[in-house]
Amino acid sequence: MRPPIAWALTVAAGLALDWLYALPLLPAAMPAGELGGIVFLAGLALLIWAAATFRRAGTQVQLSRPTTIVDEGPYRFTRNPIYIGMFLGLIGLAIAFESLWLIILLVPFYLVIRYGVVAREEAYLERKFGDVYLAYKARIRRWL
């Protein structure tokens, strides 16, 4: 499954579950909309920074197109800044909509991304780049 589709399905499922049976996340006195918006925008900014770094390096976000190893920008800190941006986006929406369901659904979303996407990407990059990718993998953490 493509990560943006998994993300959108997670948001839709979380909001649908919240509509059916709301599980509040934060105390009513907290400014959830503003706080959630800040977290969401931080995730979006990270995702855009990562995608722009890929483009500047002449590589594509989709592995079905030509790719290279990128170790600049956010890729100096994590091998998966786009997915971290998606996680932050979900957390931001969970806070903004005060939806514990969206927090709960982070677990299956993580499992899909980690084992259905990242594992395949890492295997592909190891086959394609061999020792160069293994050295990068040893230097840079998968998440943070």
In this prediction, residue 61 carries a pLDDT of: 72
* pLDDT beyond 80 at 123: yes
Task: Note the pLDDT tens digit of each residue in 30-89.
Answer: 788 899 999 999 999 999 999 999 889 888 776 666 678 899 999 999 999 999 999 999
Alpha-carbon gap, residue 18 to 105, rounded angstroms: 11
Alpha-carbon gap, residue 99 to 139, rounded angstroms: 37
Is 119 in contact with 58 (CB distance < 8 Å)? no
In this prediction, residue 36 carries a pLDDT of: 94
In this prediction, residue 64 carries a pLDDT of: 63
Global confidence as pTM? 0.91
For residue 37, the one-letter residue type is G
In this prediction, residue 26 carries a pLDDT of: 76
Is residue 5 exposed (0-12), middle (13-18) or buried (19+ Cβ within 10 Å)? exposed
